[in-house]
Amino acid sequence: MNISYKRIQAIFLKDFKEFTRNYSISIILVFPIFFALLYRSDDPAQLFMTGFVLNFSFAMVTSFIQACLIAEEKEKNTLRSLMMTPASIFDVLLGKSTLVFVLSAVVISITAYILGYVPSNYIVFFIATGLSIILYTALGTICGLYSKTVMEASLAILPVIIIFTMSSFGSQFEDRFPFLRILEFFPSSQYVNLLDGMQLSSKLADAFEGLGILLIWTVVVTIISVFLYKKRLMDK
* Residues 79-119: tens digit of each pLDDT: 666 666 666 777 778 888 899 999 999 999 999 999 888 88
Most confident of 4-13, 33-42, 56-65, 89-98: 56-65
Query: Looking at the predicted structure, is the pLDDT value of residue 36 above 60?
Result: yes
* Residues 128-174: tens digit of each pLDDT: 999 999 999 999 999 998 888 888 888 888 888 888 887 777 666 66
**Half-sphere exposure in the Cβ direction for 225 (13 Å, CA):** 27
Determine contact, residues 148/74, Cβ cutoff 8 Å: yes
Q: Give residue 38's identity as a one-letter amino acid code.
A: L
Between 185 and 224, where is the model more confident?
A: 224
Percent share of the chain, pLDDT over 70: 83
Residue spans of beta strands (DSSP E) within 67-177: none
Q: Is the dihedral of CA 179, 193, 40, 124 positive or negative?
A: negative
Q: What is the mean pLDDT of residues 167-187?
A: 75
**Range(s) of the domain holding residue 173:** 5-235
What is the count of structural domains for the chain?
1
